[in-house]
Amino acid sequence: MAPTRSADTSETEAGSTLGLPGLSGIEPTALATWLANRGEPTYRARQVADAVFGGTVESMADIVTLPGELRRALSAAFRFDTLIETELRIADEGLTEKALHRLADGALIESVLMHYPARRGARERHTLCISSQAGCAVGCPFCATGELGFGRDLQTAEIVDQVRSASRRLIAAGKRLTNIVFMGMGEPLLNLDRVLAAIEALNDPHRFGLGARHITVSTSGVVPGIRRLTALGPQFTLAVSLHAARDPLRDVLVPLNRRWPVAEVVTAAREHAAATGRRISYEVTMISGVNDTQVDADAMADLLRGDNAHVNLIPMNPVAHTPWVSSPMPVIERFAAILLEAGIQTTIRGNRGVDVGAACGQLAAERAGEPPAPAVARRRARLIAESAAALQGERSHEPAPVGVGD
């Protein structure tokens, strides 16, 4: 079988600038068929998977368990790694490693590895935050990725290879990856087929082998995607980026809210929790004077009271060209107290890697260059006006972002 027809033909169309398909995105049955068509014994599939996911082999040429001729055939058909180049920046005294990856077509994506030392009886954790798209169409104005706009969907292998890259670094240091969160660039539920295929590879004990409960997928509220997940009944955690419980404000902070308003998002999340028995995580990026008022805390408490939910309050990472900064800690604490009072589990999270631009998309945005100053000034003025109007309870009537369909 020709490799370009093997696993996911949509990823390997003729004329693609992305070159050969990445080996880590090939389904086991497709790989087994490819090997069988070459007359290889069945145990070769396991040897290839061990090399791809074992975390010690760097290239196809290094798979010493395979005969040279098969290594050459694999190299002619697949890429061992879809990340062409990775640049690392270290922050938080080594606790945060931000990686900027260049892909075959020049697209830049980011992943962030966060180390959490053992404490209070909890084991040490090594959590990787990965990207599902280059850029993002949703356009949340506090997010550096949103500012970049949409580039393209990542292939399955490009998602998995971010994990392999971090895992190789960890294994070399005698550690292993414990958690994966889809909280990097992009909206995972708008690239759901590839995200699900990647999770399958990461979860499969014969491939990466990380338990589903150690994987979190975060969405800005793509209701059809949440429903699709509910029907599948996955065991990974679903996180919903809520940011505001009132539609006028959420319209500004998450433009997708104009298509799927907050009540629909929370209903879909509730149904997901009921069907899977898994608690929903809600993320709230705390922006000073914008979504951190008493009114907002009360609205969120009313919205989530009685739900199987956990709210994470996250100080906003500074992002160039926004008029906004993080809420001060006492304000975040007051907000948390109101939610706790309503019986809603709430945690205040730290933000990692501020000094290396660890808010998703910041390094890629930096590379994209400065937009013209008048455009930045206009954008800031519009955001200030829109958020002020939203605080008065007025909804804007702009359409939902282009390219975000259902």
- Residues in the site for ligand SAH, rule: CB under 6 A? 136, 142-143, 183, 187, 218-220, 241, 283, 285, 314, 316-317, 319, 351, 359-360
Which of 55/248 has CB closer to ligand SF4?
248
Residue 221 beta carbon to ligand SAH: minimum distance, rounded to whole angstroms:
8
Burial of 293 (0-12, 13-18, 19+ CB in 10 A): middle
The DSSP element (H or E) to which 294 belongs, if any, is: helix 294-304
Task: Count each helix (H run) and each strand (E run) in the chain, helices first.
Answer: 13, 12
Is 183 or 252 the residue whose CB approaches ligand SAH more closely?
183
**Which tokens go with 142?**
């506090």
Residue type present at position 338: I
Number of residues assigned to the chain: 406
The CA distance from 59 to 54, in Å, is 12
11, 40, 97, 110: the catalytic one is: 110
Query: ∠ CA 216-146-101 to the nearest 5 degrees?
Result: 65
Q: Which is nearer to ligand SF4, 66 or 256 (CB)?
A: 256
Q: How far is CA 333 from the centre of its chain?
A: 27
Residues of 127-146 as b/e, b for ≥16 C-beta within 10 angstroms? bbbbbbbbbbbbbbbbbbbb
CB of 58 to ligand SAH, least distance (A): 29
Question: What single-letter amino acid sits at 57?
Answer: V
Give the residue among 65, 22, 56, 54 at the shortest CA–CA distance from 209: 54
CA distances from 322 to 217, 226, 243 (A): 26, 29, 16
Query: Smallest distance from the beta carbon of 55 to ligand SAH, in angstroms?
Result: 25
Element (H, E) at 285: strand 280-286
Give the footprint of ligand SF4 on residues 91-110 (CB under 6 A).
none
Residue 316 interacts, among ligand SAH, ligand SF4, none and using kind-specific CB cut-offs from 5 to 8 Å, with ligand SAH
Cα angle: 373, vertex 377, 383; to 5 degrees: 145
C-beta separation of 109 from 368 below 8 A:
no
110 counts as catalytic = yes
By CB under 6 A, the residues from 238 to 257 that bind ligand SF4 are 241
How many whole angstroms from its chain centre is CA 228? Answer: 18
Question: Which lies closer to ligand SF4 via its Cβ, residue 185 or residue 195?
Answer: 185
Q: How far is the CB of 288 from ligand SF4 (least distance, A)?
A: 18
**Which conformational region is residue 137 in: left (phi greater than 0), alpha (psi within -120 to 50 degrees), or beta?**
alpha
Q: Which stretch binds ligand SF4 (CB under 6 A): 44-52, 64-72, 96-104, 141-149?
A: 141-149
237 interacts with ligand SF4 by CB under 6 A: no
Residues in region 210-229 near ligand SF4 by CB under 6 A = 220
# binding residues, ligand SF4 (CB under 6 A): 13
DSSP 8-state class, residue 184: S
Residues 180-209 that bind ligand SF4 (CB under 6 A): 185-187
Is 143 an interacting residue with respect to ligand SF4 (CB under 6 A)?
yes
* Among ligand SF4, ligand SAH, none, partner that 356 touches (CB below 5 to 8 angstroms by kind): none
Cβ at position 277, least distance to ligand SF4 in Å: 26
Nearer to ligand SAH, 81 or 147 (CB): 147
Contact 133, 150 (CB under 8 A): yes
Smallest gap from Cβ 240 to ligand SF4, in A, equals 11
CB of 74 to ligand SF4, least distance (A): 34
* 3-class DSSP state of 57: coil
143 is catalytic: no
Q: Which of residues 311-370 bind ligand SF4 (CB under 6 A)?
A: 360
The Cα diameter of the chain in Å comes to 70
Residue 139 interacts with which of ligand SF4, ligand SAH, none, CB < 5 to 8 Å by class: ligand SF4
- CB closer to ligand SAH, 210 vs 316: 316
138 binding ligand SF4? (CB under 6 A)? yes
Give whichever of 6 and 241 is closer to ligand SAH, judged by the CB atom.
Answer: 241
- Catalytic residue ranges: 110, 360
Q: Which residues bind ligand SF4 (CB under 6 A)?
A: 136, 138-140, 143, 145-146, 185-187, 220, 241, 360
